[in-house]
Chains A and B, each alone.
Chain A
Amino acid sequence: MSLQLTLPPQITRLLQHRIFHASPADSVVPPSGHTAWLTSFTAGAMTFLAVFALALSLASGRLAERWAGALDRTATVRIAAASGQIDAQTKAVLAVLATTPGIASARALGDDEQRKLLEPWFGPNLPVESLPLPRLIEVTEDGSGYDAEGLRQRLTAEAPGAVFDDHTRWRKPLATAASRLRLLGWLAIALIGLTMAAMITLAANASLAANAQVIGVLRLVGARDSYIARAFVRRFTLRAFAGAAAGALGGMLGVALLPSADAAGAFMTGLGFHGAGWLLPLVLPPLAGLVAFAATRAAAFRKLRELH
């Protein structure tokens, strides 16, 4: 007795209709069409980009905080004088700083520290001792504040080669730039969301137009707009969610593969997610589904009013 391995096509169709289409409303719309993969692809690509925008935004936020936090209570005194006078002026500056209210500590950077500061530009083993480099003094406030202008005048009087820099000049633009970058990241996410909504609306419109005959038949037999719209909305929402989930995972993988903080340097070191931040990209697929739901629903009702 031979074993029949394939189902007759009629039975297959029946099973597909009865089992695989859980929602009756969903089954009234033909399952195929270019809008299916277009919606998933758009949602996936947009979410992939959104993950990077999110990473950029979070990194910019951290950078802005770090810069602000690290620099807002520090200042630098730079002493540029003849080699014979540097040590004397350094002592004089340290003495002035020690007696200035609001200054917690002050210390002159050693040759090794200066070499390390210059290493990114001049490479290792720079003979700083043989170069006419200015001496740097790192000043830390105690939080109560100090009279910067008064200190500047006193330093000029005690050490003519000393230049006081409280970092205000370049700290503010940096903090502002980081803030703007963070804002730009959020703006990019919003734009990505809007673009996705627009693309899904176009795909939904195309699908509705392509299924004008189906809609006509459904209206003829008494289907309400909400019934017809539900079939399209459910389908597009699920497609967008699935595409966005794939995009989010891809994006997270991409972020994870970025160079680590130690291997690279500067700004790129922070571009990634830290700790619970890795959960944030997981919010994007439901958000994409929500965007698809709203966009398709609006498009469906608008198109239905036009069609019949």
Chain B
Amino acid sequence: MECVATKSAISKPLSFRNIPLRLVIGAFPGNSRPRLEWGIAVIAFENVAYNYGGGELLSDISLRLAPGSFHFLTGPSGAGKTTFLKLCYAELLPTAGHVTIFDHDVHGLTRDDVAMTRRRIGVVHQDCQFLDHLPLSANIALPLMVAGRAAPQGDLSDLMGWVGLDRLAHSLPPQLSGGERQRAALARAIITGPDVILADEPTGNLDWDMSLRLLTLLVELNRMGKTVVVATHDLNLIRQAKSLTAARVLRIAKRRIQLAGADL
């Protein structure tokens, strides 16, 4: 996979969070093939491989996620979608190559740097883990709490209302259904207004209406300039998204990432 330059990025003004966007050719040293890329990538992979110890799961992956882009990530189960996302927020480190997040190589990040980087990345995990002893509202506001910021009660209520959890603000996470947990995880991921949103099967346990509602939220965030990556098996969701925004589809197959065709 070489380059990703999305329509959404093109349609934006030529700046993002005061970072000027520019056309670059052959951004990675040692790679002579010209690529079309936009400006400074929020996340960049350069010949990345990841090995779990039982063989290589991802191999020779090079791509850049442009600011404000929207990507779906598909592929068969066990292909490495979750691993790819974990590499995107430095939960895993590549066994070969370089992953750069906000222009910093993850190998050079201290633990504090990783923490500060994650404050700019909202992650929705497949298994949606929470602090089970805290009420849902506190869980959703957790990223603000650890960053030492207060959660305006009105904003928190609005967000919880949007994801349909306003009546469950004082419930404990173990009392929630799978779908409610997924919506809560998404709310937690976006409460700080992160630059990047990474979601791993965020609609896996949701009905179609709620899936569309969350998709709309992600699209709106993307229109605000956030970079969004959604790993999903749901082709209907991808088709729906493509009708709303200029989303691109990446497919992981045979340890590599490819741009999916228009057959989706």
Interface residues in chain A, defined as those with a beta carbon under 8 Å from any beta carbon in chain B: 10-11, 13-14, 17, 24, 27-28, 30-31, 213-214, 216-227, 304-305, 308
Q: How far is the CA of A168 from the CA of B222 in the complex (A)?
A: 93
B188 touches A221 (CB 8 A): yes
Interface residues of B in 130-144 (CB under 8 A from A): 130-135, 138, 142-143
B143 touches A28 (CB 8 A): no
B134 touches A27 (CB 8 A): yes
Interface residue B24 (Cβ < 8 Å from any Cβ of A): no
Interface residue B123 (Cβ < 8 Å from any Cβ of A): yes
A213 touches B145 (CB 8 A): no
Known: A220-B125, A221-B146, A225-B115. A17 touches B188 (CB 8 A): no
Partner of A216, one of B129, B133, B142, B170: B129
B135 touches A217 (CB 8 A): no
**A135: shortest Cβ distance to chain B, in Å?**
82
**What residues on B are CB-neighbors of A308 within 8 Å?**
91
Q: How far is the CA of A308 from the CA of B118 in the complex (A)?
A: 14
Known: A214-B131, A223-B115, A225-B112. A13 touches B170 (CB 8 A): yes
List 5 A-B pairs, minimum CB-CB distance, nearest first: A222-B119, A10-B170, A223-B146, A222-B118, A221-B143
Q: How far is the CA of A216 from the CA of B130 in the complex (A)?
A: 9
Interface size of B by CB at 8 A reads 28
**What residues on B are CB-neighbors of A221 within 8 Å?**
118-119, 142-143, 146, 188
**What residues on A are CB-neighbors of B36 within 8 Å?**
none
Give 28 CB contacts A-B under 8 Å: A13-B135, A17-B134, A17-B135, A27-B134, A28-B134, A30-B133, A213-B129, A214-B131, A216-B129, A217-B129, A217-B131, A218-B146, A219-B114, A219-B115, A219-B118, A220-B91, A220-B118, A220-B129, A221-B142, A222-B116, A222-B117, A222-B118, A222-B146, A222-B147, A223-B146, A224-B115, A226-B112, A308-B91
Q: Nearest chain-B residue to A12 (Cβ)? A: B170
Known: A13-B170, A28-B145. 11 other contacts (CB 8 A): A11-B170, A17-B134, A28-B131, A31-B133, A218-B131, A218-B146, A222-B115, A222-B118, A222-B119, A225-B111, A308-B91
Interface residues in chain B, defined as those with a beta carbon under 8 Å from any beta carbon in chain A: 91, 111-112, 114-119, 123, 125, 129-135, 138, 142-143, 145-147, 170-172, 188
Q: How far is the CA of A14 from the CA of B172 in the complex (A)?
A: 11
Q: Which of A24, A218, A224, A225 has the most CB of B within 10 A?
A: A224
**B161: shortest Cβ distance to chain A, in Å?**
17
Partner of B142, one of A30, A217, A224: A217
Q: How far is the CA of A10 from the CA of B134 in the complex (A)?
A: 11
Q: How far is the CA of A17 from the CA of B142 in the complex (A)?
A: 13
A24 touches B145 (CB 8 A): yes
**A86: shortest Cβ distance to chain B, in Å?**
87
Q: How far is the CA of A85 from the CA of B102 in the complex (A)?
A: 108
Partner of B112, one of A17, A217, A224, A305: A224
Q: How far is the CA of A128 from the CA of B245 in the complex (A)?
A: 116
Q: How far is the CA of A225 from the CA of B116 in the complex (A)?
A: 11
Q: Nearest chain-A residue to B170 (Cβ)? A: A10
Q: How far is the CA of A221 from the CA of B111 in the complex (A)?
A: 13
Q: How far is the CA of A266 from the CA of B172 in the complex (A)?
A: 65
**What residues on A are CB-neighbors of B116 within 8 Å?**
222, 224
Q: Nearest chain-A residue to B125 (Cβ)? A: A220
A305 touches B111 (CB 8 A): yes
Q: How far is the CA of A123 from the CA of B134 in the complex (A)?
A: 73
**B180: shortest Cβ distance to chain A, in Å?**
16
Q: Nearest chain-B residue to A14 (Cβ)? A: B170
**What residues on B are CB-neighbors of A11 within 8 Å?**
170
**B134: shortest Cβ distance to chain A, in Å?**
7
Q: How far is the CA of A305 from the CA of B114 in the complex (A)?
A: 13
**What residues on A are CB-neighbors of B143 within 8 Å?**
221-222
Q: How far is the CA of A226 from the CA of B119 in the complex (A)?
A: 15
**What residues on B are CB-neighbors of A213 within 8 Å?**
129
Q: How far is the CA of A111 from the CA of B192 in the complex (A)?
A: 94
Q: Nearest chain-A residue to B143 (Cβ)? A: A221
Q: Which of A14, A213, A217, A304 has the most CB of B within 10 A?
A: A217
